[in-house]
Amino acid sequence: MSAIIIEGLAKRFGTLAALAGFDLTVPRGAIFGFLGPNGAGKTTTLRIMAGLAHATAGRVVIEGVEVGRGQRPPIGYLPDTPSFYGWMTAREFLRYIADLHGLERPPIDAMLERVGLADAARKRIGGFSRGMKQRLGLAQALLPQPRVLLLDEPVSALDPAGRKAMLDIMSELRGELTVFFSTHILGDAERICDEVGILDRGRLVLQARRDDLLARYARPIFEIDAAPSDTPRLSALAGQLRALPWVDRVNLEGARLRLTVNDVDAARREVLPMLAGLSVSRFEMLGATLEDIFLGLTNSAGVPTGTEVAL
C-alpha cells in the first residue's frame, strides 16, 4: 500500500519549469529520502504536497486523499526554516496547534520530552536557537499524529550535534508513520532512509530501495590495512595478486593495499587465506555511497568527497 502517490507532477514559474512532470510512489511506513542538488525542485514538491503551492499539472495523493481537493490529508509538515510566533512559549504553540486539530488531551509534555525541549517548555520561542526551533517544528508536525510526515531539509542548517539528535528522532519514527524528507546531505539520507528518490532539474532520475541501490552500484574494491612492519610482505602479496585472473588492479600505498577485482566471489574466497601470517588491522569490501551514485546520476562534478557533501 502506498502512502504517497505523485503522478505527472509539474510546476512552472513563468517560463521556468521547476518540476517537469514526474511520478513517484512511497510505500507506507518507509523513511523516504528525497535527494537533489539545490534548485532541483525538492522544496517546490514538498510545498505542493503540504498544500502551500498549486501544481501546474499532475496530482499528489497522500493516504488516499488528493491534495488541494478540499479534504485535508493526514500530514505533518516541517518547512526548511520554521518560523514561529516569537511571543509564544513552546508549550503555548503546541497547545495552539492541538486546538486547531481539536485534540482534547494532546500529549504536549510527552512531545516536548521526545524532541528534547522539556526544559524549554515555558520559554519564549523568540529566544530559541535554530536547533531548538527545528525540534519544536518537528514536535508541531508530529503532535496531531499524522500518518505522513513531510520534512523539508530538516537537518541541513544544524550543527553536528543538532543534526544527530534530529536524525535519531527521525529514525525512532520508523514503523510509526511514513517519513518523506528532502535533503542534500547524502550521508544523512544514507544513514536513515529505507528508500530514496533523486530529483535533478525537476525530473526524478532514480527511485529505489537504499540497500538495492547500494548493492546495484557496489564497487568491487577491497582494502587491506596491515601493520607498518608488514609492508615488505604486503608488497610481495601485491605481486602475487597481480598475477591472478580475477584481479584487475592492485595499488599499494605504505601499509594499505587496494584491490580492484572482476570477480567478487572469487576475491572473497581467496584473498582472506592469502593474508595468513600478516598483522591485518582492516579488511573491507568498499561499498558504493549514495554520494557516488548521486554524483553519477546528476552529473555533478568537482565535488569534494567525504561522508557528507553540500551540493
Q: Does residue 45 bind another protein (CB under 8 A)?
A: no
The string of DSSP letters for 251-282 reads EEETTEEEEEES-HHHHHHHHHHHTTTS-EEE
CB atoms within 10 A of CB 201: 15
* Part in contact with another protein (CB under 8 A); list of ranges 83-91, 161-169, 263-271, 300-308: 83-91
Place of cell 602475487: 240
User: Among residues 74 and 187, whose Cβ is nearest to another protein?
Assistant: 74
83: exposed, middle or buried (C-beta count within 10 Å: 0-12, 13-18, 19+)? exposed
3-state secondary structure of 227: coil
Q: Taking CB under 8 A as the criterion, which residues in 202-261 touch another protein? A: none
Instruction: Find the angle CA(31)-CA(305)-CA(275) to the nearest 5 degrees.
Output: 95
Among 8, 28, 54, 130, binds another protein (CB under 8 A): 54
* Part in contact with another protein (CB under 8 A); list of ranges 2-10, 34-42, 84-92, 236-244: 84-92
Helix then strand then coil, % of the chain, to nearest 5 = 35, 30, 35
Among 9, 50, 151, 247, binds another protein (CB under 8 A): 50
Residues 6+ apart with CB under 8 A from 235: 252
Among 5, 10, 53, 297, binds another protein (CB under 8 A): 53
H-helix segments, the chain? 42-49, 90-101, 108-114, 130-142, 160-172, 186-192, 210-216, 231-242, 264-274, 290-298
User: Among residues 42 and 210, whose Cβ is nearest to another protein?
Assistant: 42
Among 28, 69, 101, 249, binds another protein (CB under 8 A): 101
User: Distances in Å between the alpha carbon of 56 and those of 4, 34, 40, 200?
Assistant: 19, 21, 17, 18
Among 32, 33, 47, 290, binds another protein (CB under 8 A): 47
User: Among residues 82 and 131, whose Cβ is nearest to another protein?
Assistant: 82
User: Among residues 8 and 126, whose Cβ is nearest to another protein?
Assistant: 126
3-state secondary structure of 308: coil
Q: Does residue 96 bind another protein (CB under 8 A)?
A: yes
Among 22, 77, 180, 181, binds another protein (CB under 8 A): 77
Q: Does residue 81 bind another protein (CB under 8 A)?
A: yes
**Smallest distance from another protein to CB 54, Å:** 6
Tell me the site size for another protein, rule CB under 8 A: 28
Among 33, 37, 82, 131, binds another protein (CB under 8 A): 82
222: exposed, middle or buried (C-beta count within 10 Å: 0-12, 13-18, 19+)? buried
Q: Does residue 83 bind another protein (CB under 8 A)?
A: yes
Q: Does residue 100 bind another protein (CB under 8 A)?
A: yes
Distance of CA 311 to the CA centre of its chain: 14
Q: Taking CB under 8 A as the criterion, which residues in 114-143 touch another protein? A: 137, 140
Please report which helix (H) or strand (E) contains residue 198, including its range: strand 195-200
Q: By CB under 8 A, name the binding residues for another protein.
A: 43, 47, 50-54, 72, 75-77, 79, 81-85, 87-88, 96-97, 99-102, 137, 140, 144
